[in-house]
Structure 1
Amino acid sequence: MLIQRLNGRHAAQYRALSLEAYARHPQAFASSIGDRAAIPLAWWAARLDDELDLLLGAFEGEVLVGIVGLALELEAHARHKATLFGLYLSQAWRQGGVGYQLVQGVLAEAREQPQVRLIQLTVTAGSDAAIALYRRCGFMQSGLESLAVRVGDDYFDKIHMCREAREL
């Protein structure tokens, strides 16, 4: 399994895997698959080349099977924080350690940013495998946002988690 930084040339695969995530787990995202599917491929390519969003992919050969991102903050008083976002693995690649490799890759990227001291994330309450993965990677719950996402008539809470960038 190769974990590497994504760029504009990966846009089509990144878009396809992201749309798969939106379709399979709509409760995990504030945007809907309809919203994201309507966005042109050029937007996806530009996002991959944006210096404030560092995106990593897990590749099996030439096929992108997993993704995760790290968003850096622009604001002067928040530059010490970064947000892990969009962790997703194709179904066939779950439970094999690829998610752990992706999170470790994001943590390494965060450590390369000297201003980053804290990494934060949100995860849908009830996503037990994801929560367990984040805990194994040193994240601790720091809050709970009730009714954070609404899909149809259903509401989902979000657990806020964080960890220091440079601790074990």
Structure 2
Amino acid sequence: MAMNIQRLGPTWAPAYRQLMLGAYARHPEAFTSSPEERAALPLDWWQRRLQEKDQAQERVWGATQGADLLGVVGLGLETREKVRHKATLFGLYVPDRHRRLGIAKGLLDELLTHAQGLPRLRVVQLTVTEGNHAALALYGQAGFRLFGSEPLAVAVGDSLLAKLHLWCDLDGLRRS
């Protein structure tokens, strides 16, 4: 069965929740939310995140194969007037068993294609934990550029980790 990349709707909430709780637990250094914080959220929080309306401020895509969710990525749109030209990529995750199949690249491509189709957007931003070379390479190939480093950004146990801030110029992608 072939893989499909699609915008997820509320019916995917249980699978999305399960996948992301696994991500938070397996890679605590990569996410700013803890598994305990997110596990405490009711299912309707996850369903709201997966709203399919055009006005939805958060949009999530999934790589699916039948009823299986193989990976996800989200885009958060800014609503404040002075920053409505920006969006934030969040929660790109593909479990180990599905890596090296091009899923992350496919999800990222789909998100950027969608973002380019929103005329108000000029910039997509994201953060990556310092030392995550695979993620940095993927984002770099997609056109993201480093613009700063936030020291002591995330506390994981006794460690304080830096986050690298990246941005992608959508107008540049639209012209290429």
TM-score (normalised: structure 1): 0.97
* Structure 1 residues 21-56: Cα deviation after superposition (integer angstroms, max 9, x where no partner): 100111122221001111111110011117000100
Runs (5+) with no aligned partner, structure 1: none
* Structure 1 residues 101-152: Cα deviation after superposition (integer angstroms, max 9, x where no partner): 0000110111121100011100111111111000010101010000100011
Separation of aligned partners in 2, 1:126 and 1:142: 16
Match of 1:14 in 2: 16
**Residue of 2, 5, 27 corresponding to 2:4:** 2
* Structure 1 residues 72-97: Cα deviation after superposition (integer angstroms, max 9, x where no partner): 00000000001111000011111221
- Give the superposed CA RMSD: 1.0
Match of 2:29 in 1: 27
Separation of aligned partners in 1, 2:7 and 2:31: 22
Q: Percent identity?
A: 48
Query: Does residue 113 in structure 1 map to residue 118 in structure 2?
Result: yes
Separation of aligned partners in 2, 1:127 and 1:19: 20
How far apart are residue 158 of structure 1 and its match? 0.4
Runs (5+) with no aligned partner, structure 2: none
Query: Does residue 100 in structure 1 map to residue 102 in structure 2?
Result: no
What amino acid does structure 1 have at the position aligned with 2:163?
K
The runs of at least 4 consecutive aligned structure 1 residues that moved more than 2 Å come to none
Match of 1:148 in 2: 153
Structure 2 counterpart SS, 1:116: coil
Structure 2 counterpart SS, 1:27: coil
Structure 1 residues 113-132: aligned runs within 5 Å: 113-132=118-137
What amino acid does structure 2 have at the position aligned with 1:28?
A
What amino acid does structure 1 have at the position aligned with 2:22?
E
Structure 1 residues 30-109: aligned runs within 5 Å: 30-49=32-51, 51-109=56-114
TM-score (normalised: structure 2): 0.93
Separation of aligned partners in 1, 2:171 and 2:10: 29
